[in-house]
Chains A and B, each alone.
Chain A
Amino acid sequence: MKDEVCAIGYRRLPPRDARWAPWPIARTALALAFRKRSVKMAAALTVFVVFMHAIVVVGQVLVAEATSNDSGEVPISLGAAVVSQVIGKVHGTLSTFIGVQLHATALLLAVAAAGLIAEDRRTRAFELYFSRPLRPIDYAIGKALVPLLLSFATLVLPLLGLFGLALGIAPHVIADELWPLLLPGLLGAIACAAVLSATLLGASAVGERGRTVGVAFVLGLGALGGFANGMAESGVRWAGYLGPLRDVQTVMDALLQAGSPGIMAMLDLRESTNDSAWISAAVLAGISALGVLAVVLRLRKEVRG
């Protein structure tokens, strides 16, 4: 059926207040992303990771409590060995969670957000955006909200949830000893979210196709991490700073040591870390800054010609 022009008339609009421009950009990008099956599958993977770690945490806390009651007597207090064992295992689980979820989140961001800026370049959508009363900073914030919200939802919130779960089901004496694990874990998750978001956005600003950017991002992250760990274990210690996850673990351990010096002795599993937390923090900040710089340069080139 052929479309016909209908003479309905043109209506003037009343004056309106300014609204926060980045939110429609972020919401539309998220809605478009979740129409893709690959994004739903990647999101399901991150949920699965959370679920599995939650089971492990529950098991670790409950098994420890059950072990202490094997004698059949109701213990007045749990022994220091049991407390230490639980703290160590929970810390190990939370650390493992951050490591595994970082990779799952990277996969999610690669399919959901790799084309945020790259596809706008390819389809010449920049003119569509900037012929509106939109500042470059609004565009950048709107696009940045997408990976930040996704990684916040897959890293930070679940970490808080796992910690809260352990805290909620553990006996009081164990719960009191768990608190020092919160801040390092939370900051580690936030650092992972920030680094992943900034580097993905920077890669999208440089690339020209979303799919290419996504593949390069995931492979690059994996290769960099593998290279960093391998070289560091072989004695080339400086190479360890190239691995983002290794840097995050270094900073987390440093915070843990600073907050509760005695807790390090309780830890059951410790990921490989670098020698200097300050250098690791600087590397993480530098990687993030490079991503932001790439976005700034792209916008300057596209907006003002």
Chain B
Amino acid sequence: MTVVSPRGSAGAAPLVSLRAVRKRFGSFTALHDVSADIDGRAIGLLGPNGAGKTTLIRVLLGLLAPDGGQALVLGHDVRVEPAAVRARVGYAMEGPDRIGGLSGLESVVYAGELCGLRRRAAILRAHEILDLVGLDDARMRPVEEYSTGMHQRVKLAMALVHDPDLLLLDEPTSGLDPESREELLDLIVRLRDGEGPAVILSTHLLHDVERTCDACVIMHQGQIRFSGPLAQLKAPSSRSFEVELDGDANAFAVALQQYGGVMAIGRRPGAWVVTLAVEDARTLWWAATTAGVRLYHVQRHEASLEEAFLSAVAASAGAA
């Protein structure tokens, strides 16, 4: 499956290229022959808990050796050149991982030095990045005293300090209050739209992806179920319509069933979502005539990300 998104110069290697990547932990298969080309400015890596998102990220960083297949990140093979990959990738992991005893500033400086910055350059860069992520006076305090939101900002700063070409964020809004979450998402959008690195956002929160990303990869049970632009995922279906009617809705639903259609409650009050068996909108009027109802609003239904996500997961599970 290939994602086609506008980015950089023509002919440049995709951000991530996966070819039949496999990873097992004992009898449990975390990644089943995963293949995809992932490219763009901000890509959401979506999936429920246990889908294999974190495993895939760790494989991309070279922290886990895949049992088979090939993974290229920014043109580097993760098995052959893991250090080269990590030099160009910034990773903000899930959880309150920290190096004990350091302040926020010291943590970011240390991260910069580990990535090859000279100490003075690392200190200057750390202050810049901490200004960017919005950690002001608190940067001088030990990280053990930080709230969850501050931890997330420090981790993001540690991932950005060495100016990576690709930023991998693993559940960056986990544990944040709504206001902090929106601030972090705003920051990701600014990075995406400015000089910042490309972002792969791994999360199970659809809202975060919808807010920040222009493409997504959906994973489920160790496989990729969808890979492409968000617009393609949410594209209006030729068999799905949103209708508003005047009359007995139950009778209309029964009439639809005779033509193989199904009806569900829509997102807006008074609206219904009708899914037909065939791509023929005339079925709506046939069913309305049979039920004796009047249709006064009909439009193609654009699925929400949640609906599209569930549909992609269910469709592939059914095929499997």
Verify A133–B116 contact, CB threshold 8 A. Answer: yes
- Which residues of B lie under 8 Å from residue A10 when comparing CB positions? 132, 160, 190-191, 194-196
Verify B131–A6 contact, CB threshold 8 A. Answer: yes
Of the candidate stretches B35-43, B83-91, B202-210, B213-221, the one touching chain A is B83-91
A1-25 vs B: 1/0 string, CB under 8 Å?
1011111111111001111010011
Q: Report the minimum CB–CB distance from B153 to chain A (whole Å).
A: 8
Question: For residues 110 through 139 of chain A, which have their beta carbon under 8 Å from a beta carbon of chain B?
Answer: 119-120, 123-125, 127-135
Q: For the complex, what is the distance from the CA of A120 to the CA of B153, rounded to whole Å?
A: 21
A65-80 vs B: 1/0 string, CB under 8 Å?
0000000000000000
Q: For the complex, what is the distance from the CA of A228 to the CA of B111, rounded to whole Å?
A: 45
Verify B97–A6 contact, CB threshold 8 A. Answer: no
- Which residues of A lie under 8 Å from residue B118 when comparing CB positions? 16, 19
- Which residues of B lie under 8 Å from residue A3 when comparing CB positions? 134-136, 138, 150, 153
Chain B, residue nearest A11 (CB):
B128
Interface residue B175 (Cβ < 8 Å from any Cβ of A): no
Verify B187–A5 contact, CB threshold 8 A. Answer: yes
- Which residues of A lie under 8 Å from residue B99 when comparing CB positions? 28, 120, 123, 125, 128
Verify B86–A132 contact, CB threshold 8 A. Answer: yes
Interface residue A303 (Cβ < 8 Å from any Cβ of B): yes
Q: Report the minimum CB–CB distance from B138 to chain A (whole Å).
A: 7
Verify A6–B132 contact, CB threshold 8 A. Answer: yes
B86-121 vs A: 1/0 string, CB under 8 Å?
110101010101111110001000110111111101
Q: For the complex, what is the distance from the CA of A125 to the CA of B155, rounded to whole Å?
A: 12
Verify A123–B63 contact, CB threshold 8 A. Answer: no
Given contacts A123-B99, A124-B97, contact A135 B128 (CB under 8 A): no
B63-99 vs A: 1/0 string, CB under 8 Å?
1110000000000000000011011010101010111
Given contacts A1-B137, A5-B134, A124-B95, contact A131 B83 (CB under 8 A): no
Given contacts A10-B132, A18-B116, A305-B64, contact A128 B111 (CB under 8 A): yes
Chain A, residue nearest B168 (CB):
A131
Question: For residues 44 through 76 of chain B, which have their beta carbon under 8 Å from a beta carbon of chain A?
Answer: 58, 61, 63-65
By DSSP majority rule, is chain A's interface helix, strand, loop, or mixed?
Answer: loop
Verify A123–B86 contact, CB threshold 8 A. Answer: no
Count class of interface residues, chain B: 35 or more
Chain B, residue nearest A129 (CB):
B114
Verify A4–B134 contact, CB threshold 8 A. Answer: yes
- Which residues of B lie under 8 Å from residue A13 when comparing CB positions? 117, 125, 162-163
B132 touches which of A8, A128, A133 (Cβ 8 Å): A8
Interface residue B198 (Cβ < 8 Å from any Cβ of A): no
- Which residues of B lie under 8 Å from residue A131 when comparing CB positions? 61, 63, 86, 89, 91, 93
Interface residue B183 (Cβ < 8 Å from any Cβ of A): yes
Q: Name the residue among B102, B114, B121, B162 with the largest chain A CB count within 10 angstroms.
A: B114
Q: For the complex, what is the distance from the CA of A25 to the CA of B113, rounded to whole Å?
A: 9
Q: For the complex, what is the distance from the CA of A10 to the CA of B100, rounded to whole Å?
A: 28
- Which residues of B lie under 8 Å from residue A130 when comparing CB positions? 61, 63, 86
Interface residue B126 (Cβ < 8 Å from any Cβ of A): no
Verify B195–A28 contact, CB threshold 8 A. Answer: no
Verify A303–B63 contact, CB threshold 8 A. Answer: yes
Q: Name the residue among B86, B87, B101, B150 with the largest chain A CB count within 10 angstroms.
A: B101
Q: Report the minimum CB–CB distance from B241 to chain A (whole Å).
A: 41
Interface residue B158 (Cβ < 8 Å from any Cβ of A): yes
Question: For residues 127 through 144 of chain B, which have their beta carbon under 8 Å from a beta carbon of chain A?
Answer: 128, 131-138
Interface residue A269 (Cβ < 8 Å from any Cβ of B): no
Interface residue A63 (Cβ < 8 Å from any Cβ of B): no
Q: For the complex, what is the distance from the CA of A19 to the CA of B153, rounded to whole Å?
A: 27
Q: For the complex, what is the distance from the CA of A28 to the CA of B122, rounded to whole Å?
A: 14
Interface residue B186 (Cβ < 8 Å from any Cβ of A): yes
B110 touches which of A5, A12, A28, A119 (Cβ 8 Å): A28
Interface residue A183 (Cβ < 8 Å from any Cβ of B): no
Given contacts A13-B125, A125-B97, contact A305 B63 (CB under 8 A): yes
Q: Report the minimum CB–CB distance from A37 to chain B (whole Å).
A: 14
Interface residue A35 (Cβ < 8 Å from any Cβ of B): yes
Interface residue A32 (Cβ < 8 Å from any Cβ of B): yes
Interface residue A304 (Cβ < 8 Å from any Cβ of B): yes
Question: For residues 1 through 59 of chain A, which have their beta carbon under 8 Å from a beta carbon of chain B?
Answer: 1, 3-13, 16-19, 21, 24-25, 28, 32, 35
- Which residues of A lie under 8 Å from residue B150 when comparing CB positions? 3
With A124-B95, A127-B93, A128-B93 given, can you name 8 additional A-B contacts, CB distance below 8 Å?
A21-B116, A24-B110, A32-B101, A127-B63, A127-B91, A128-B99, A131-B89, A305-B64
> Which residues of B does A touch, CB under 8 Å?
58, 61, 63-65, 83-84, 86-87, 89, 91, 93, 95, 97-102, 106, 110-111, 113-119, 121, 125, 128, 131-138, 150, 153, 158, 160, 162-163, 183, 186-187, 190-191, 194-196
> Which residues of A does B touch, CB under 8 Å?
1, 3-13, 16-19, 21, 24-25, 28, 32, 35, 119-120, 123-125, 127-135, 303-305
